[in-house]
Amino acid sequence: MGLFSNVSSSDDIDITKIKLPEHLGIIMDGNGRWAKKRGLPRTAGHKAGATTFRKISRYCSNIGIKYLTLYAFSTENWNRPQEEVNTLMRYFREYLQEALRDFRDDTIILRFIGDISAFPEDIQELMKENQELSSVRNGMVLNLAMNYGGRAEMVYAMKQIGESILKGELQPSEINEQLISDHLYTANQPDPDLIIRPSGEHRTSNFLLWQSAYSEYYIDDVLWPDYTEKDLNRALLEYSKRNRRFGGV
């Protein structure tokens, strides 16, 4: 059977024969609308979305994606109703505890990008434990963007560079694109080749603003809780057909 025994879809897309992105980003969007369509509280949408997150991240690992960045919680999400924020915190705890308990033999390297200092201390500790435990693995790097915003990330990078200048370790004339990239949360990782946004919205929502300068985008009308491996296969097939010129001819 092997690694790819379950990766073909009923749409006759043979995922083993197409060019995959090295780094895939996904804006997990549509949980609230999914719940509203069903007359359910928004928290029910987040619960369903968490199930999809587990399924899609596992699938990406199985088919050979090397880097996967998922937009889990933005710097703006703190402005949502407190009950909804509390529910999201509970789901974060559950996932992190599950990862420590059940996935010790996994190959996925788990990383958190964003300012995690804003989270409750117990969640911060679970993040640190998961990162440390998974750091010795050799599989897909899974970046969970938590309290993440692209603009905030660039401010973070500029502050680090500014401190180096004040200490005399760096001259302003030495600042270039690579130096900035080296001070982002995704330092030492390739920029995303493809970014997928389920739910039909056509905006970046402050996600990987610097890194996505030449990323391909794919918009899907499917709401995140309904997103399946078949939906992802279609996006990957479309990506494989595109001619990426990076500003050239």
Q: What is the distance between the alpha carbons of residues 54 and 57, in angstroms, rounded to a whole number?
A: 5
Place of tokens 């911060």: 124
Neighbouring-strand partners of residue 24: 68, 194
Q: What is the distance between the alpha carbons of residues 192 and 176, in angstroms, rounded to a whole number?
A: 20
Q: Are 215 and 208 in contact (CB under 8 A)?
A: yes
Quick check: is 29 catalytic? yes
Which of 11, 62, 77, 220 is an active site residue? Answer: 77
Quick check: is 79 catalytic? no
Report residue 144 as tokens: 């969970």
Using alpha carbons, select from 67, 49, 70 the residue that is nearest to residue 108: 67
Report residue 173 as tokens: 């004339």
82 Cβ contact list (under 8 Å, min separation 6)? none
Q: Which helix (H) or strand (E) segment is 71 a member of?
A: strand 67-74
Q: Which residues are catalytic?
A: 29, 77
